[in-house]
Structure 1
Amino acid sequence: MILPLSLIGLLALLSLGLLASPWPYLAPGTVLGLAGLLALYRKPAWGLLAIVALVPFEGLFKDSELTGAKLIGASLALVLVVQLLLGQLPAERLRSNQWRLLLPFLGFYLLSLLLSDNVGLSLGHLRTMAVGFVLFAITLLVGRDLHLGMLCKVVSLSVAVTCAMAVLSARFQEQGRARGLLDDANVFALLIAVAVPLALWALLHSRGWLQRLLWLGCLALLLAGMTKTDSRSGLVVLLSSLAIALVHYRAWLAHIRPRHLGFVVLGLALLLPAAAALLPASYVQRIESLVLLGAGASGNRDESLGRRASYIVVGGEMIRSDPLLGAGPGTFPLHYATTGFANGFAPNAKASNLYRQAHNTYLELFSETGIPAGLLFCAMIVLAWHNLWRARRLWLEAGQRQRADLLTHLSMSMLALGLFLLFLSAPNHKYLWIMLALSSVLRSEAEHACKERSA
């Protein structure tokens, strides 16, 4: 690619300006920045893969105003806007069946913000949500150029690396619970729950024993990391995903002959006791609390479950107070802190122990933005899963078994995201908004291929 003289002149002026500034050490970075912009211009999908790869490492830059993910995201958005204006990228790529739900959701969200109990908190919430909205648009524009197999591998490897760090070092644990490079063990468990189906796909469809060994190691690290998080919700979501995998690959069970049954029983006899012995005692106790809950355990026996019950009570009161527009985005912690639950469950008077989120994205949105916005958000989750399942069925009808398998595992990851939002407040999670957009892209591709085949 031949660089125009104007671009070289701009690069020179920028370098001279940095040399004369208090940060002369940044001058060489202009060359790297220009190289990065050119790479993004030629391969925008690489930028989205880079953002996905950096999600598990966000904790490394939590105190920094400028992070790698923000820089890549802003640069990618700029590149895509330029390509749209120059007609190098068709605007039709922005079409999605999610817009009919997202646009009304944004309307109710903004109305709730305008009438919020605390506009400052709501504006901060909007700023974090804006990241998800931008990623949604970016994914629509570059999703057709995205290599799905590479996406699965990038997610699996990046999360597995942080799992290895959390398992091998106590630095990445808090109160005995692994949190990786993030602030919350449950957020870390969400990443693992999303990555496990994708790592399983890479294992089942890899060629050569070295590749299988690599993905088997990644899968083992992910499962070990999940046990270290002590996340009960993570276990529930993970078991749901694995159950779907067993149903999808049930045809493979037909290859098991009666002479193999003894080896299967022997493997289970060795694996199950070993897994029980390797599980941390704290994790076993937290799992047992779920059984006690079914028998009528009270919040006094498990403080975490008692807190979650209090979130439902406070959220229900907020919904009854303003069912149409809610109390305002991001205001749940403000309302919770004024209740007796905040003081009752707080180990000390720190603000972080009093101003708590709902730990349930759906409850939080219903109470903060109203019932219509909450229903629209839930409908977007359901539609995304339906899009992926519809695309899977179309590829199966076309005889594209391997691509259908990939859609199955992406559906499992989407289901894991949707279920995990019941236990975590993360309406702005990057994985979520990427998957919402990607689902409509994949369905559109499958339907287009089906029409071409029938024509």
Structure 2
Amino acid sequence: MIFPLSIVSLLGLVCLGLLASPYPYLAPGAVLGLVGVAVLYRKPAWGLLGIAALVPLEGFFKDSMLTGSKLIGASLALILMLQLALRQLPSERLHSNIWRFLVWFMVLYLLSLLNTDDMGMSLGHLRELSVGLILFVITLLIGRELNLDLFLRLVTLSVSLTCALAMFSTKYQDQGRAAGLLEDPNAFAMLIAFAVPMALLLVIRSPNLLHRLFWGGCCLLLLGGMTKTESRSGLVVLFLSLMIGVWHYRAQLPRIRPRHLGFAMLGLVIVIPLAIYAMPAGYVARIQSLSILSAGAKSQDESLGRRASYIVVGSQMIRENPLLGSGPGTFPLHYATTGYAKAFSANRKIGDLYRRAHNTYLEIFSELGIPAGLLFVGMLALGLYNLIRARAAWLQRHDWHQADLMTHLAVSFLSLTLFLMFLSAPNQKYVWIMLALTSVLRIKAEEAPRREARV
């Protein structure tokens, strides 16, 4: 690709302007910006890798208006728009079967926005959602050049780093629960559940013992971080992911020899007591509360009581506005007017009264209406189906390497979709990146010639 001379000239003028201004020390930053833009222009997929790696680390810049992720995303969006205008990128890359749901979802979203109960809250919600939509389009355009192995490594390393910080420093904990660089331990658990299938694939594919030990250490950090979050939903999603992995590799079980079973039993004898000993007492109590879901238990467990109140309020909102909902982002407004908000608020602060639904599906159904909710669920289901079809296409070509990759990516994406039942995160970056990537991977798998199959 040829880097446009006009952009070079523009940035050169910016540098000269900064040198002549009262802030000449900013001129080197413009030069670095020029180098960064040039790199992104030549290798836009690197920008997407950078965004994926920075998602768990965004908390470092939570008080800053300009973060690395925003800077890369904005630069990448402008570069891709320019490349499309210059026909350096084929517009056919925007083709995706996800659009059939997403377009109608956005139509209903805008209609709900016009009929909202609070325009300010709805516009804020739209601003947050637009970040995910931009990432969706970016991934469609450059997903074909994305190095998936490097994507797995960067996500695993980034989330593992935040796990290490949360486990060994109280600064990255919320009332004793690990939150990493995020404000919500459950949101942190979502990142961990997303990264675990990727880390396990890296362990399986490690070329030597040293690499296997390194990625195995990352797996231990992820599991330790999940325990430290004390997230019950995270434990359920992680257990389901591991069971899917065991089922996928069931054909490898006959290769296990009796001596291997002996070492496995010895490892379990050592690991299980250590895990029980290291598990926080509060986490054990939270897990036990899941097995006692009587009315009395709900009243004793404040967290479960709050979640039950979200369902009651959300259901009432759906009954009142089944077609277009109450407007994007307005669930906290309705919840704050109920008695539940006061009952579950310890100090009556605004943040305690205006609570989100902690369930993306419930939030979308109640705020946007039933049709929009069904379209959103349909998008995610189609994404999972795309990965299943991609895996089947690689199996037909006897490419077990790619088929295993599709399986682990599908489990990671499934973890995100399941976690949306416990979090209000319709703008979560990994959700939209993976949603677009599922379409790209299916197209690549179905278009791959059979002569490239690995026998």
Q: Which moved more, 1:17-26 or 1:418-427?
A: 17-26
Query: Residues 114-153 of structure 1: matches in 2 within 5 Å?
Result: 114-153=114-153
1:276 aligns with 2:276: yes
Displacement, 1:19? 3.4
Deviates more, 1:275-284 or 1:264-273: 264-273
Deviates more, 1:4-13 or 1:407-416: 4-13
Partners in 2 of 1:19 and 1:327 — Cα distance? 52
CA distance in 1, matches of 2:5, 2:324: 54
- Check 1:44–1:342 CA distance in 2 against 1; reply closer, same or farther (3 A cut): same
Q: 2:333–2:354: 8 Å Cα contact kept in structure 1? A: yes
Percentage of identical aligned residues: 63
Greater alpha carbon shift after TM alignment, 11-20 vs 138-147: 11-20
Contact 2:112 2:325 in 1 (8 A): yes
Counterpart CA distance in 2 for 1:448 and 1:239 is: 34
1:174 and 2:177 are equivalent in the alignment: no
Deviation, 1:448, is 0.8
Map of 1:303 onto structure 2: 302
Q: Which residue of 2 aligns with 1:361?
A: 360
Distance 1:8 1:324, change over 3 A: closer
Q: C-alpha offsets along residues 171-217 of structure 1, whole Å, 9 cap, x if unaligned?
A: 10010011111111111110000000001001100111121111011
Structure-2 residue corresponding to 1:105: 105
Rate the CA distance shift 1:349–1:4 in 2: closer, same or farther, 3 A: closer
1:318 aligns with 2:286: no
Q: Which runs of no fewer than 5 residues in structure 1 stay unpaired? A: none
Structure 2 stretches of 5 or more lacking a match?
Answer: none
Q: CA offset at residue 397 of structure 1?
A: 1.6
The alpha-carbon distance between structure 1 residues 6 and 327, as it changes in their structure 2 partners (threshold 3 A), is closer
Separation in 1 of the partners of 2:197 and 2:280? Answer: 23
RMSD: 1.7
Instruction: Please name the residue that 2:334 is paired with.
Output: 335
Q: Which residue of 2 aligns with 1:287?
A: 287
Report if the CA contact (8 A) 2:186-2:234 is conserved: yes
Measured at CA, do residues 38 and 5 of structure 1 come closer, stay the same or move farther in structure 2, by a change above 3 Å? Answer: closer
Residue number in structure 1 paired with 2:402: 403
Matches within 5 A, 1:181-330: 181-293=181-293, 295-330=294-329
TM-score (norm 2): 0.96
Letter of the 2:331 partner, please give it: F
Counterpart residue number, 1:81? 81
> Within 1, Cα distance between the matches of 2:308 and 2:203?
39
Q: Deviations over 1:208-257 (max 9, x none)?
A: 11211110111111111111111000000000100000001111211123
Q: Deviations over 1:27-82 (max 9, x none)?
A: 11111001011100110000000000000011111121111101100000011011
- Residue type at the aligned position of 2:129: M
Task: Give the whole-Å Cα distance in 2 for the aligned partners of 1:451 and 1:48.
Answer: 29
Displacement of 1:394 after TM fit? 1.2
- Cα offset, 1:298, TM superposition: 3.2
Match of 1:53 in 2: 53
What is aligned with 2:347? 348
Partner of 2:44: 44
Q: CA deviation at 1:300?
A: 2.0
CA distance in 2, matches of 1:138, 1:317: 37
CA distance 1:324–1:285, change in 2 (3 Å): same
CA contact (8 A) 1:388 1:442 kept: yes
Give the deviation of 1:261 after TM superposition: 3.3
Aligned residues of 2:193 and 2:238 also touching (Cα < 8 A) = yes
Worse-superposed segment, 269-278 or 236-245: 269-278
1:258 is displaced (CA, Å) by: 3.7
- For the residue of structure 2 that corresponds to 1:216, the secondary structure is helix
SS at match of 1:299: helix
Quote the Cα distance in structure 2 between the aligned partners of 1:315 and 1:223. 33
Q: Figure out how many residues of one structure are paired with residues of the other and give that number.
A: 453
* 1:388 to 2:372 alignment: no
Flag the 1:251–1:6 CA change in 2: closer, same or farther, 3 A. closer
106 and 452 in structure 1: CA distance in 2 versus 1, 3 angstrom threshold: farther
What do the CA deviations read for 1:300-334 (whole angstroms, capped 9, x no partner)?
21000000000000000000000000000000000
